[in-house]
Structure 1
Amino acid sequence: MSEPESPDDGEQSFISHLVELRERLLKAVAAVLLVLLPLLFFANKLYGWLALPLIRHLPQGGTMIATEVASPFLTPLKLAFFVAVLIAIPFVLYQLWAFVAPGLYRQEKRLAVPLLVSAVILFYIGCAFAYFLVLPAVFTFMTHVAPAGVAVMPDIGHYLSFVLGLFLAFGLCFEVPVVLVILVALGVVTTEQLASSRRYAIVGSFVIAAVLTPPDVLSQTMLAVPMCLLYEVGIFGARTLTRTEPKASSSTDG
């Protein structure tokens, strides 16, 4: 007969978890800093690449300006830090996974790994979609609707905030399939409920796009349509999960 676990054992286990969490966090921060250091030498070039979608659509003689004294120095550094975090995301998520994985069941582990990988890939795709397709369309619209006699000279700091916000919006909205699969896996909804709510999802996609994008129909459509398509991808992925999950569980029981 095993002896009951003493309070000291529980406290020791809690402290060991805190120590491991601290080590995982330090590794994640170290990974971001390790990527950031070389990027600092190319911070101005990174900003130049980020500004290309705007610069290409500025009217002749238009240019970007810096309205704050430290903006020419701090703005590229902020961009370099964002890029470093973006590059280090897989390693950061791996550290998170390594911390929580020992407490998960085998079926949960089998589901979590592809979901984490899919979430990272979809976030990257969302950012790339925003950079290569949405930003040129947005700035084409913005520069053409400027009133006569108004010089279009965006501030570099405001431009960075605008673009990063757009990246974040598209990156998160492209996570729709992952969210749907998780909801079905947790039993919150069923695939039949998702399919029957398709019309509401379409309306919701256009409402979200209207809130997150600039006030032009083109950019709103360019966010809403992929969200609707990704909704269908999420339903398909959830259906595949529900078909394969009973087989997997029965094989483990045997």
Structure 2
Amino acid sequence: MSETSKPHSKPLAKPISKPEAEGDEVEASRAPLLDHLKELRRRLIWAVASILVGFIICFIFAEQIYNFLLVPFENAAARVRTGDLQLELIYTAPLEFFFVKVKLALFGGIILAFPMIVFQLYAFVAPGLYRNERGAFAPFLVAAPVLFAAGASFVYYFVLPFVMRFALNQEQTGGDGVATIQLLTRVSDYLNLVTTMILAFGISFQLPVLLMLLAKAGIVRAKQLIGFWKYALVGIFAFAAFVTPPDPISQIILGSALMGLYGLSIWGVMLVQRKPEEESEDTGKA
């Protein structure tokens, strides 16, 4: 057979070198990363947009909201002060009250957008969860805003009246050569007090949600929390001293409330914690 009549053999495929294979792996991992970043950007846009809408709404009604926050102060003054002494707040800079309303609107906007922010966080992590994990996580999405609202209500209806009555009781009425000492609060100082306490109590009231999620994941158990209560007591009151204004009244109230929530969390952990046979099944599968 002549050379011209020989069948042409199929050329062998060029072997893929190691650098090329590593490059393909990098490209393959880059695509999911970009998808995750795009999804994160979309969720952040929704969260920021909801805060912006809440900010606009709260800024329109900023004065009404501020007057609503003044009600505990006014009730405390009506109880403590006698005579014609009326509650007065001051501001010492020309634009102080305007910026107070801006700050109040931003704070209110974040609170109004809090359910949307939590939902966007859940929507971002949900695709990476199993169906049973999504079902277990969903109730806590409802519990978190409810507990935050409970903490804010506790501040408004109990803590603020108590703290302001205590502050007003330090006043001194004049007469017989004694100076008059009266509380004149700046509008910004009162707002800082209210927002700090609402944030401190609202975030602290998330303790049952946090511990129950950890129990659901098998990280903590009720028996551990019961044995840890002495250390929790020290940590809770240290946390209360750090996040509340520098007065012992609010610190003691927050610390006591957190200890009550800690006890409630132990009961909740008993309900949701994983059973030993479930943990042994997971270990066997691994």
* TM-score band, normalised by shorter chain: 0.7 to 0.9
Query: Which residue of structure 1 aligns with residue 38 of structure 2?
Result: 19
Return the match for 2:215 from 184, 192, 208: 184
Q: Which residue of 1 aligns with 2:11?
A: none
Contact 1:141 1:216 in 2 (8 A): no
Distance in 2 (alpha carbons) for counterparts of 1:245 and 1:163: 45
Cα distance in 2 for partners of 1:95, 1:249 equals 34
1:153-232 equivalences under 5 Å are: 153-211=184-242, 212=244, 215-217=247-249, 219-232=250-263
The correspondence of residues 1-254 of structure 1 with structure 2, limited to 5 A, is 6-58=25-77, 59=81, 60-147=85-172, 149-211=180-242, 212=244, 215-217=247-249, 219-242=250-273
Identity of aligned residues (%): 34
Cα offsets for 1:192-222 (capped at 9, x unmatched): 11112234434544444445255344x4443
Alignment partners' CA distance in 1, 2:200 and 2:236: 12
State the 1:155 CA deviation.
Answer: 0.5
For the structure 1 residues 207 and 27, does the alpha-carbon distance in structure 2 shift closer, same or farther, using more than 3 Å as the test?
closer
Which deviates further from its counterpart, 87-96 or 133-142? 87-96
The TM-score normalised by the length of structure 1 is: 0.86
Give the Å deviation of 1:163: 0.9
Gaps of 5+ in 1: none
CA-atom RMSD in angstroms:
2.7
- Shift, 1:247, TM fit: 6.5
Q: How many residues align structurally?
A: 248
1:152-198 CA-to-partner distances (Å, cap 9, x unmatched) read 11000111111111111111221121222233334443211111223
Greater helix fraction, Structure 1 or Structure 2: 1
8 Å CA contact 1:32–1:85 kept in 2: the answer is yes
Task: Tell me: higher relative CO, structure 1 or 2? Use CA pairs within 8 A at least 6 residues apart.
Answer: 1
**Structure-2-length-normalised TM-score:** 0.77
- Contact kept, 8 Å, 2:90 with 2:187, in 1: the verdict is yes
